[in-house]
Amino acid sequence: MVRDNHQAQISTTDPDACALPRKMNIVEVSYNVQAAVEAENKLITNYEVTNENDTHALSGVALEAKAVLKKERIQALADKGYDTGSELKICAENNIETYVAPRQKNTSHKHPDFVKGKFSYDGERDSYTCPEGKELLSNGNWYKKNGTDYRKVYEVQVYKLPFEVCNACVQRLDCAGQANLNNSKGRPIERSEYDEYLEANRERVMLNKALYRTRQQIVEHPFGTIKRSWGYDYTLLKTKEKVGGEMALIFTCYNLRRSMTIFGVQDLLKRLKAACLLFFAPNRANLSSYKPFLFPKIKAPTFYFQNFYQHTGQLCAA
């Protein structure tokens, strides 16, 4: 079954759940819930239940949040793990300014003074400059790099110096390495098709540290309330669709309780009644014939929201 479905794993208790890594290298069979929270009122705008890690989750949730908020431009703050180049590119192309904590890049280079980050890129000249001041150029060709389980196939350009230049450098062993020198090669630097978006995002985070620190205040507010105060740190249902419905109920409860704090009970009820009138107004004539069945003891349908709101609030507080 796993081979036929091209899956790397399958749960015997929930066919949609997967073993996902958590903190401290702990792996649990679970779902990954992505949620977007607007900054001003700490309300959840949209969410998505997935059975994958965060690598390719940013753009989809950010685009949906932008549509919900009906804004031409938005800022998206996210934790490390979301800084995938292809996702940052999609956001940039859709007027979403990202502030995503950059991950510590794994490097096979042994000397810290000669990792890729120590080579400065010049966009106008399309070249890199090494720590010793020499300019690395590319031949203009793009080369495909194989993807991994968490990374799709992507393309890179290779920048390098002639072997003679590297071989004459006093830092040749620390920079180019003995293996390259033995093969008559200079030090290569790869630049992916997404590096400009990764660099722009990294620069924004570095220049706006105070703004980025607000991320925890924004997104941790609902998750702290739901998981710690209310105790919803696990799901009762199975399969992705049902878990999605369960999270919809929980997030709706949170938004209602949060709105109650923002507006106050009476003001919120007035707003809900007004929304109810707008909702039913186009079909008021048709609705009147069903009124005895839908609202047998209620004078006006607007009070339906009042009852529903109170019931939901009690459910959340339990």
Q: Assign residue 69 the CATH number of its domain.
A: 3.30.420
Q: What's the domain count of the chain? A: 3
Q: Please list the pLDDT of the chain residue by residue as tens digits (318 residues).
A: 444 454 667 788 888 988 888 777 788 888 999 999 999 899 999 999 998 888 899 999 999 999 999 999 999 999 888 999 999 999 999 999 999 999 877 666 678 889 998 999 999 999 999 999 999 999 999 999 876 555 678 999 999 999 999 999 999 999 988 888 888 888 999 999 999 999 999 999 999 999 999 988 888 888 889 999 999 888 899 999 999 999 999 999 999 999 999 999 999 998 888 887 776 666 555 545 544 444 444 333 322 222 222 222 222 222
> Which domain does 166 fall in, by range?
112-193
Which amino acid, 45?
T
From the centroid of its chain, how far is CA 155? 23
The Cα 103–Cα 110 span in angstroms is 19
99 in a domain, yes or no?
A: yes
The Cα 84–Cα 54 span in angstroms is 9
Do 56 and 34 fall within a single domain? yes
Do 241 and 92 fall within a single domain? yes
Q: Can you give the pTM of this predicted structure?
A: 0.81
Which amino acid, 56?
H
Do 301 and 227 fall within a single domain? no
Do 93 and 123 fall within a single domain? no
| Cα-based angle 119, 125, 129 (whole degrees, multiple of 5) | 20
The Cα 231–Cα 220 span in angstroms is 15
Beta-carbon contacts of 183 under 8 Å, excluding residues fewer than 6 positions away, are none
Cα dist. 155→66, 117, 180, 206 in Å?
29, 19, 22, 27
8 in a domain, yes or no?
A: no
Say if CB 60 and CB 48 are below 8 A apart.
yes
The Cα 158–Cα 188 span in angstroms is 6
123 in a domain, yes or no?
A: yes
* Residue 226 structure tokens: 């739901």
